[in-house]
Amino acid sequence: MANPAGEAARPTILRTPLGRVRGSGSAKSGTHHWWMQRVTSIALLPLTIWFIVALATSAGMTHAEAVAWIGHPFNAVLLLALIGLTFHHAAAGLQVVLEDYAKPEWVKITSVLAVKAVCTLLALAAALAVIRLAV
């Protein structure tokens, strides 16, 4: 299809000339971030509903009751899954918000790295607490 000026349509090519010569394609990870956000959200659906229902039906737990509940193998395994998936999903989501709105570039990169660090440390702290009570 030609435009009125008679210029042929040229698609925008973002690959470098060297990359084209070497025939190296994409890293095959283009949709990985987006896809993992969906996979973790599906896994979090039942886990989160389980956690909210469990807490809502046992308000005002004593320390001994809480320790027993967290330390029960069934609950501990689900809690570990919940912790890992929650912070993976949270870090991925916050990253996208920052990528959209944080400016300038150094603020964007620094804040994304900070979010990843905080989410990783929170997840590790929570997992350690569960494991201490479960084993």
Q: Is 22 in the site for other proteins (CB under 8 A)?
A: no
Query: Which tokens sit at 36?
Result: 């993992």
d(CA 12, CA 15): 9
**Helical residues (DSSP H) of the chain, grouped into ranges:** 17-22, 32-56, 63-71, 73-101, 105-134
Determine phi and psi for 8, rounding to 5 degrees: -70, 150
Q: Is 135 in the site for other proteins (CB under 8 A)?
A: no
Q: Shortest approach of other proteins to residue 34 CB, angstroms?
A: 9
d(CA 16, CA 121): 38
Applying CB under 8 A, among 16, 24, 58, 120 the residue interacting with other proteins is 58
Look up tokens 């969906």; give the residue. Answer: 38
Rule CB under 8 A: which of 73-132 touch other proteins? 79, 83, 86-87, 90, 93-94, 97, 100-101, 105, 119, 122-123, 125-126, 128-130, 132
Q: Is 12 in the site for other proteins (CB under 8 A)?
A: yes
Find, among 86, 53, 59, 79, the residue nearest to 133 by Cα. Answer: 79
Look up tokens 């025939």; give the residue. Answer: 23
Applying CB under 8 A, among 17, 23, 30, 60 the residue interacting with other proteins is 60
Residues forming the site for other proteins (CB under 8 A)? 1-3, 5, 7-12, 14, 38, 41-42, 45, 48-49, 52-53, 55-61, 63, 66-67, 70, 79, 83, 86-87, 90, 93-94, 97, 100-101, 105, 119, 122-123, 125-126, 128-130, 132-133
